[in-house]
Structure 1
């Protein structure tokens, strides 16, 4: 699987994938606007409606100001309570801040070697947590919604994938967006692995640091096979029809129908 995002986009069965928009949020590594991604019914994701990022505690003062200029209506922080205490969000005291941890202290440890197996286990165990995170997007006041965790890859990757699929973004476009994190976090993760000498541990950590398009594509296939798709999965977790409709309303821009001239 290639890491070049442009080539991946050109290879998708859905056709061209809209340009993925990086955001200049110093010093976040993995912040981007999901606007422009295609939806199944002649539409696209609205610009400045859904943003994904790594932890906002990274931000410099200029970065904090850049986020404020966006005027988000909600910032959804998926990190654990311990992570939030260790590296507090600069927006934690604001009304727009919403802490929704996907992992709890008493959760059983997940030591599976493959990242995709960890994703499957988390989805199996906690549909209600994922549905609550998606509901937080659906129920947010009007305005941009920011979703982030620590690196903006795994927890954020799963929640964003569920949201995008709920509004009809094709699997391959979701997978391409997920794989963007590989390039954004590559140097950061390489530095974190620099002192690992044990070959088996290094292989495991390299796998957990990965963000391959096929990992997300297989995760979406698993949701279809096991739950009938993303919408049934989210309904199982407690998401209701009103919230699914709200996601469509806030995130999807419909393309105008093409007009043709009558021939006489």
Structure 2
């Protein structure tokens, strides 16, 4: 079994960003940053697994209306960053009609809202000791975009970053089957293909044109890289 795929009851799309090779011959650190779907869906056993894995900070990328009430989390910091600024009517008129559920919107989003990834990465950089969980609703797009930025600044190749993004697809299909809800994967795949591209190509293009300095300060960059890369923290 892939050690990066985590079984936290109540969630379906949870995996560690550790264990991935970097360009300088190192590996991303296990138990440093985990990506997931909505943690407020976790069962009691799921929360026990999260705590047992060492998560001490949650950075929740959803808007307030998407969040259910969390249990009492005296031992875990929760940082809420509203990644979808719905008041920008012009942007969402173009990108909010289904395209938001695909990698098609990644580059336009980064161009329009660089301050929001900046806020997320700063929260991760200055989180207290222990693991950090980043999440949205399904753990694919907002979370996927932040995972892309984290892995890119850690020195992980575009191909491996694309692999990580695509790893969400079967997990979300399983979630749809289990919960008896619509599986959007074929719909989003068709939407991307109608634009004459693929999800993988879009992720690779986003990585290729990244300017990391727009999303993390020069002072925070070495601190964040140290959190992400190196030996596993105890």
**Of the candidates 142, 146, 157, which is equivalent to residue 170 of structure 1?**
157
**Of the candidates 107, 118, 136, which is equivalent to residue 88 of structure 2?**
107
CA distance in 1, matches of 2:9, 2:174: 16
Q: TM-score under structure 1 normalisation?
A: 0.74
Tell me the equivalent position of 1:131. Answer: 118
Q: Please say if residues 56 and 90 of structure 1, whose CA atoms lie closer than 8 Å, have aligned partners that are also in contact.
A: no
Tell me the equivalent position of 1:259. Answer: none
Q: Does 1:69 align with 2:52?
A: yes
**Of the candidates 2, 5, 8, which is equivalent to residue 25 of structure 1?**
8
Change (3 A) 1:95 1:24: closer
Tell me the equivalent position of 1:51. Answer: 34
Q: Please say if residues 182 and 212 of structure 1, whose CA atoms lie closer than 8 Å, have aligned partners that are also in contact.
A: no
Q: Does 1:97 align with 2:78?
A: yes
Cα offset, 1:251, TM superposition = 1.4
Structure whose alpha-carbon radius of gyration is higher: 1
Tell me the equivalent position of 1:215. Answer: 202
Cα offset, 1:94, TM superposition = 5.5
Number of equivalenced pairs: 217
Cα offset, 1:52, TM superposition = 0.5
Please, what is the CA RMSD of the aligned residues? Answer: 2.6
Q: Does 1:252 align with 2:229?
A: yes
Identify which range, 146-155 or 239-248, moves more after superposition: 239-248
Cα offset, 1:62, TM superposition = 0.5
Change (3 A) 1:22 1:104: same
CA distance in 2, matches of 1:92, 1:230: 36
Identify which range, 242-251 or 109-118, moves more after superposition: 109-118
Cα offset, 1:69, TM superposition = 1.5
Q: Please say if residues 59 and 132 of structure 2, whose CA atoms lie closer than 8 Å, have aligned partners that are also in contact.
A: yes
CA distance in 2, matches of 1:146, 1:203: 28
Cα offset, 1:70, TM superposition = 2.1
CA distance in 2, matches of 1:54, 1:248: 24
CA distance in 2, matches of 1:55, 1:158: 16
Tell me the equivalent position of 2:137. Answer: 150
Change (3 A) 1:95 1:69: closer
CA distance in 2, matches of 1:60, 1:78: 20
Tell me the equivalent position of 1:230. Answer: 211
